[in-house]
Amino acid sequence: MILLLRLSVRTSLAAFLLGMARLIAATCLVLLLPATYAHAQESDFGVAVPITFTGEGIYSGRLQEEDPDSSPLAPAFRAVLYPSVKLGRHWFGSATLQIHSTPFFYEETYEPYRDVETNLLQALAGYSWSGEKKSFTLKAGKMMTAFGAFPLRYDDNSNSLLDVPMSYGYYYKPVSLYGIPGIEFDASLNRFDTRFQLTNSAPSNPQGLRSDSQHAQWAVGGGYTIRQGLRIGISAHRGPYVDREDVSPAQWDRAADLPATGVGTDVQFARGRWSLAGEMQRFQFNKLDASAVVAHYGYGEVKIILTPRLYAAARFGYRRQDLRPSRNSTELTVGIRPNRFQLVKIGYLWLRGEGVEGSEYDVFGVQYVTSIQAISKAFRQGTAVCCQLPPQ
């Protein structure tokens, strides 16, 4: 009876979360068109599709780990599309579509396969409002996790270096850069900002809406801007993380209650030619009939603008985990901007720690990044926007 009650509560919570997400998304879609009519005389309607395209070349001994006869050199590309629509002063919709060849991300360089992958990272609808020194936004759909600070800089134009911090990534990382279905509320007041998110799965194991491994999760974050250019923040998340395929059917009821917990702090600083950013994070993954796995991650970044078209950046990171070898990474990058639409990055990453000998896991990389505004159209007061919607 107790087991059935627990299953019922868990199922009800998951159903409530998914129902709320669908309700808000449906409400947004239903109200988008009427909202356009209502604000046609006082606000804008617009569509935009910015694209970031990156061409990359990687040279590393990692590419020969499974096949010594393979080439240590790999070309790759990545295209990220950001379609968005604005309907009235408050309603909006946006998505993030990523297309890339493998290996593009440094974490992919350990595998010998070559492929082209397409991933819908985000797809959401939302409502926003802003006033004097205050604002709030409500979003529903597939979105980045609210945990941590780096997910806001995953675009190659925003990331000063080539790689990402060690706790972030797409495969077997504590914080995935894939989107997670859910709802999120963001708010800011004067120097304070906060965000609260309910999702159907953990940041370490994102699930689709049809998955049978969904678990209700929460994530929260916030920050305080001490003065212009200096902000400190904190974030946390908690909820079950186990995938049904990873346990036997007889153990699933127990495993479904095992939570993963993450806590982190972050800081950003910018003044003149210098900017700094860093995070420290602690993760705990509870296990069946075993001690919890605890992991500590952290990194610090520094960037200096040498000339209007030239900068240098460095990132120092670490990983300390119970079941995996400790690692330290150092990445140095030089960036050159021929113009405001293009960026060339040349970098070298050193990986050191347990089980690493010499330079076998180091990576030399070159990236060419360009920004394209494929579509950008706005309609202002008095425009018959009812007929200007993009084709479905």
Give pLDDT, residue 261: 97
Query: Average of pLDDT values for 34-63?
Result: 76
Is residue 8 scored above 50 in pLDDT? no
Is residue 386 scored above 60 in pLDDT? no
Q: What confidence tens digit (pLDDT) does each residue in 341-356 have?
A: 999 999 999 999 988 8
Contact call for residues 142 and 283 (beta carbons, < 8 A): no
Query: Average of pLDDT values for 178-187?
Result: 97
- Greater confidence, 14 or 357? 357
- Greater confidence, 93 or 154? 93
Integer-rounded Cα radius of gyration of the chain:
22
Is residue 23 scored above 50 in pLDDT? no
Contact call for residues 297 and 316 (beta carbons, < 8 A): no
Contact call for residues 183 and 200 (beta carbons, < 8 A): no
Query: Average of pLDDT values for 314-321?
Result: 96
Q: Show the tokens assigned to 125.
A: 């609808």
Query: Average of pLDDT values for 9-33?
Result: 42
Instruction: Please report which confidence band the pLDDT of residue 381 belongs to, taking 50, 70 and 90 as the band edges.
Output: low
Query: Average of pLDDT values for 15-38?
Result: 41
Q: Domain spans of the chain? A: 2-387
d(CA 76, CA 105): 9
DSSP conformation class of 61:
G
Q: Is the overall model pTM greater than 0.85, yes or no?
A: no
Q: What's the burial of 224, exposed, middle or buried (CB within 10 Å: 0-12/13-18/19+)?
A: middle
Q: Show the tokens assigned to 90.
A: 């408050």
Instruction: Please report which confidence band the pLDDT of residue 31 belongs to, taking 50, 70 and 90 as the band edges.
Output: very low
In 18-34, which positions are buried (b, 16+ CB within 10 angstroms) versus exposed (e)?
A: beebeebbeebeebbee
Q: What confidence tens digit (pLDDT) does each residue in 115-157 have?
A: 999 999 999 999 999 998 899 999 999 999 999 999 888 899 9
Q: Show the tokens assigned to 306.
A: 């040498």
- Choose among 164, 182, 172: nearest CA to 204: 172
Query: Average of pLDDT values for 200-211?
Result: 94
Give pLDDT, residue 36: 38
Query: Average of pLDDT values for 183-199?
Result: 97
Q: What confidence tens digit (pLDDT) does each residue in 291-315 have?
A: 999 999 999 999 999 999 999 999 9
Instruction: Please report which confidence band the pLDDT of residue 35 belongs to, taking 50, 70 and 90 as the band edges.
Output: very low
Q: Show the tokens assigned to 340.
A: 């405001």
Q: What confidence tens digit (pLDDT) does each residue in 350-378 have?
A: 999 988 878 889 999 999 999 998 888 88
Give pLDDT, residue 42: 43
Is residue 72 scored above 70 in pLDDT? yes
Give the domain 2-387 fold: Porin (2.40.160)
- Choose among 119, 120, 117, 79: nearest CA to 101: 117
